[in-house]
């Protein structure tokens, strides 16, 4: 099994899958802890980011292709930045235009 992981065979995929299952179990345990909601959210986000990074790096083979890794990173950051333009519109849809004169 150690040679499979070193050579990148099916053992590597199974190992990563087990790590993802352990991270999902950690999220389950965090969900039932008696901590505040803000702490729970923080810990859940941390574990989810680690989970997503592991899944992307190994199942999308981003560890093998440096150019693809940079493309995915730049694309995700660009999408998150461009999503920020929608927040003001969603506020206006729910609450109306701020400081508008009502007649």
Taking Cα atoms as reference points, which of 76, 26, 72, 69 lies closest to residue 46? 26
- The two tokens of residue 52 are 């997503």
User: Does the global pTM surpass 0.95?
Assistant: no
Instruction: Give the tokens for residue 100.
Output: 């508008």
pLDDT of residue 3: 47
- pLDDT by residue, tens only, the chain of 103 residues: 444 445 557 888 888 899 999 999 999 999 998 899 999 999 999 999 999 889 888 888 887 888 888 898 899 889 988 877 766 666 666 666 666 655 5
Domain boundaries, the chain: 1-64, 66-97
Terminal CA-CA length for the chain: 75
Choose among 26, 68, 72, 29: nearest CA to 50.
Answer: 26
């Amino acid at each position: 099994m150690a040679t499979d992981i070193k050579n990148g065979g099916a053992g590597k995929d199974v190992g990563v899958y087990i790590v993802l299952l352990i991270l999902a179990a950690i999220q389950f345990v965090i969900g039932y802890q008696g901590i505040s909601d803000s702490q729970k959210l923080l810990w859940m986000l941390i574990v989810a980011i680690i989970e997503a990074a592991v899944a992307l790096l190994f199942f999308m083979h981003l560890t093998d292709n440096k150019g693809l890794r940079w493309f995915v990173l730049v694309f995700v950051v660009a999408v998150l930045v461009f999503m920020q333009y929608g927040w003001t519109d969603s506020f206006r849809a729910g609450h109306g235009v701020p400081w508008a004169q009502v007649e």
